[in-house]
Chains A and B, each alone.
Chain A
Amino acid sequence: MVKDQEFLKSKASYCLDLAKKMGATDASVTVGHSISETVNFRNKSLEASDRSDGLALSIETYLGKRRSSISSSNLLDENIKTLIEKCLETTKITPEDEFNSLPDKNLLAKHISSLNLYDETRFENDKKIKYLKDLEESASTDSQIINTESSFTENKSNFILANSDGFCDGYKTSSFAASCVTVAKDENSMERDYEFSSKRHLSDIKQAIDLGNKAAKQTIRKLSPKKIGSEKISIIFDKRISKGMLSAFASAISASAIARGTSFLKDKIDQQVFANSINIIDKPDIIKGMGSQNFDSEGVNSNTLQLIENGILKNYLVDTYNGKKLNLKSNGRSGGTTNLYFEKGNISYEDLMKKNSRSLYITETIGHGSNLVTGDYSVGATGFLVEDGEFKYPVNEITIAGNFKDMFKNIILANDLEFEYSVNSPTMMIEGMTVAGK
């Protein structure tokens, strides 16, 4: 069983009291416990099983405007004492920083509403095994599938965040995740693809059979790919790739990137950065949401934020420290976005596919090709050539490149938004990007 609130609270207040007694002017503590169990399958038999049980503690101590932190997995009182001593010693010689402080008291979360983020159901390993058997059975019906690997992970966590201004709260969360990776082979090629489902509640996980079928189908259609020539072409991003654009956007509007001046979106508040039709929202209070939270990692209340309204940048993601630097109040985004999504567009998936007589549909990108300082984007890609709305043949060993500043202004979104993950996007089209191939 995951440790209860009382246990974590007692550890947290022990740390706070000790830190104060030893001279800290302020302190904040996070204590967490997490248990996770994973079963791995390969080619329809058990491959591995893994159980982890871990406590984690992190403490920040302040001496006026001086601050430093420590973390440990060892929660014995004697060890905690040594660590806090060490932390305070370090704090003493760390230079002052005028922006260091606990969050403003009046911004701290006061009412914790239930977001239904914890499902106490225990999915025994035998049941995980049964689920994975069914999954791999359905994934390997086609003889071109030569390898299947799948896993099921169940996680239960609990935490308490406490600070010397009296904040002390936390809550349990759970997650269940099933995933499947399949390898297919024909005379010309060997390809891999995947499918997964990750939810707060066990009953919301996709059916094993559907997951396996989908992974297999997505893999087989990639066989015998061709390389295309270098050209400018409109690109359609599958949902699993288009949500990555949102993540890149979120990194570029974090208060830390803005305060440091290392973002291509610095000083763009109230300016047009996306096409007129685009709205981007970060909503922390979705029931059972994968990214939902009652407060951020500093205890600050977080409300729904409209980040982009009709293409115009309305908000940065602000934490206490960088907020002070920028003269902005924290909006509860220390730790980043919560449930981030593009509002759906008004064209159907089918119409988007047919919008141009020829386009490139991307299902996977590889490489770390996003430069958030300049906005330059260049990644390796895999996908399909689309003609008249139909997949013609698979394509690989190409790159796609552009600059976010231009790409964002040319986004067209389909109306197929679904809330599956903590970041969600409809299918997306961007015109005028460069493909490098032959």
Chain B
Amino acid sequence: MNNFFNKSDLTRQDADKIVSETLNNCDDGELYLEESKSESILLDDNKIKSSNYSSDLGFGFRAISDEVVAYSYSNEISKDSLKNSSENLKSTLKSIKGTYNHEIPKSNKKFYEDINPIEQKTLDSKLEVLNKVNDFLRKKDGSVKQVTASFAGEQKSIEIIRSGGEALTDVRPLIRFNVSVMLEKNGRKETGVYGIGGRQSYDDYLKNDNWKNVCEEAFRIASVNLESKPAPAGEMKVVLGPGWPAILIHEAIGHGLEGDFNRKKTSAFHDLMGEKVASEGVTIVDDGTIDNRRGSLTIDDEGTPTERTVLIENGILKNFMQDRHNARLMNTRSTGSGRRENYRHIVLPRMRNTMMLSGNQTQDEMIKSVDKGIFAVSFGGGQVDITSGKFVFNCTEAYEINNGKIGSPIKGATLIGDGPSILKEVSMVGNDMMLDPGIGTCGKAGQGVPVGVAQPSILIDKMTVGGTKL
């Protein structure tokens, strides 16, 4: 366990005292201490291009009175620095007359081990894997022109000190292994990218030469794209494959169900609680409690244990995702969704692992039912306009469907849809729910946090495909 006080003139007692004094009469707030150690090692263009190690230490001090959030952070943990922050918060919240809510639910479940993944594998053996990846792909096929492979590892320790001296701690490991390959054939270039990761040690993911499978998948995606034709343009039926394509759910539905946008009534979903927002058979949950998953958290960044929050149940909107601040203002409870990128940032309600649960149809049935449409297997990034509800995402592997059969691969196209209505267009839900491989990072208000997604195959009756072929 980290001790934030052993290299500072600030003692635990001092910290408790300053926190309690500052938050007296506030509605909420806490001192958040964080230390992170991270590494990134990159092989590119036949060479180890960079190996970087960083360490970061700091605190963020938050005080909330009614709707106003005051925040101050520093990367110097000292008595003076904390006192300065305290003064800063007090000067922002000029008249404070709240009631501090001491209630933080408790749980002793943990969803990952207290490990430091960086220390659990030697640098030499990481370099060896990266070089093997490079050799393997370059020997595999003459069309391979560029290989990039990387390791990213992190250990983040946090301690949350609340008014009255209550303290909550967590140690969070996170790793990611990524391979990108570029092929060139007959003057055409295409890339394929694949990665894996989560909250375990590197070797948990790389055992049995699993790096080879990651290489094969990146190579396969690039090869498919070398044969791709221009994508069609216009409204048509879309079959989404299982797993990672659930970023559609994340963009189209997830963001719109975050508490802050609904409290402010700027989400297209704010007045739809209890109403039908999806076809029957569609159930979506946001779950922070799956062992070792990238989006899982033992406690969130306000100290609340995470949970499995049902967002949509059989088509009906049931819950928003809440942090403490928005929950209090909406007269509800936190769902353990309060997250921040690091101590430099304020807490926002965010997604964890967002999942559409399985139904009982097969992918085969879906494909067979489509006369003209596309089958989307993998995506790059997506984005949403919360207010208008319009969202997009980019296909990185997709095929035409003609008369119930999968046809040629098509070039990367953007799909665009309308969040509040897209789930009503879901006419089949597959029996093949799959989790993504553990690579997602969600951005909101300039803060990136690791997330996961999952879904079965689904058939969407109408969506606009942004190709070039009319």
Contact = CB atoms under 8 A, between A and B. Distances in A.
A and B interact physically: yes
Interface of A: 42, 45-55, 68-74, 76, 79, 83, 86-87, 90, 93-95, 97, 125, 146-147, 149, 183, 189-192, 225, 227, 230-232, 259-262, 264, 364, 366-369, 371, 373-374, 376, 378-380, 382, 396-403, 434-438
B146 A380 contact: no
Interface stretch (B20-28, B51-59, B281-289): B51-59
A378 B413 contact: yes
Contacts of B75: 53-55, 73-74
B47 A382 contact: no
A68 B465 CA distance: 44
Interface stretch (B10-18, B162-170, B263-271, B363-371): B263-271
A401 B466 contact: yes
B48 A51 contact: no
A436 B233 contact: yes
Contact of A69 (B50, B74, B382, B390): B50
Output the residue of A55, A76, A264, A373 with the most chain B CB within 10 A.
A373
Given A49-B70, A230-B470, A434-B467, A367 B414 contact: yes
B51 A68 contact: yes
Interface string B370-403: 0000000000111111111011111000000000
A396 B53 CA distance: 45
Nearest to A368: B381
Give the top 10 A-B pairs by smallest Cβ distance, nearest first.
Answer: A399-B466, A380-B392, A436-B233, A367-B392, A192-B387, A73-B75, A230-B234, A71-B54, A48-B69, A368-B381
B6 to A, nearest CB: 12
Given A71-B54, A367-B414, A397-B390, A46 B467 contact: no
Contacts of B47: 95, 97
A373 B414 contact: no
14 contacts: A48-B69, A51-B88, A52-B344, A54-B73, A69-B52, A73-B57, A74-B75, A190-B268, A262-B191, A366-B384, A367-B392, A367-B393, A382-B388, A397-B418
A384 B7 CA distance: 59
Instruction: Provide the main secondary structure of the chain A interface.
Output: strand
Output the residue of B67, B346, B386 with the most chain A CB within 10 A.
B67
A376 B76 CA distance: 46
B294 interface: no
A192 B388 contact: yes
Contacts of A397: 390, 416-418, 464
Given A260-B146, A399-B416, A189 B388 contact: yes
Contacts of A49: 68-71, 92
A33 to B, nearest CB: 10
B390 A366 contact: yes
A379 B466 contact: yes
A368 B383 contact: yes
Interface residues on B, range: 35 or more
Given A73-B56, A436-B464, A42 B264 contact: yes
B466 A97 contact: no
B388 A190 contact: yes
Given A68-B53, A125-B92, A379-B466, 19 more contacts: A46-B92, A50-B72, A52-B73, A69-B52, A95-B47, A97-B47, A190-B388, A227-B464, A366-B391, A368-B380, A369-B412, A374-B189, A379-B392, A380-B414, A380-B466, A382-B385, A397-B417, A399-B392, A434-B468
B250 to A, nearest CB: 14
Contacts of B68: 46-49
B57 A147 contact: no
Interface string B81-102: 0000100100110000000000
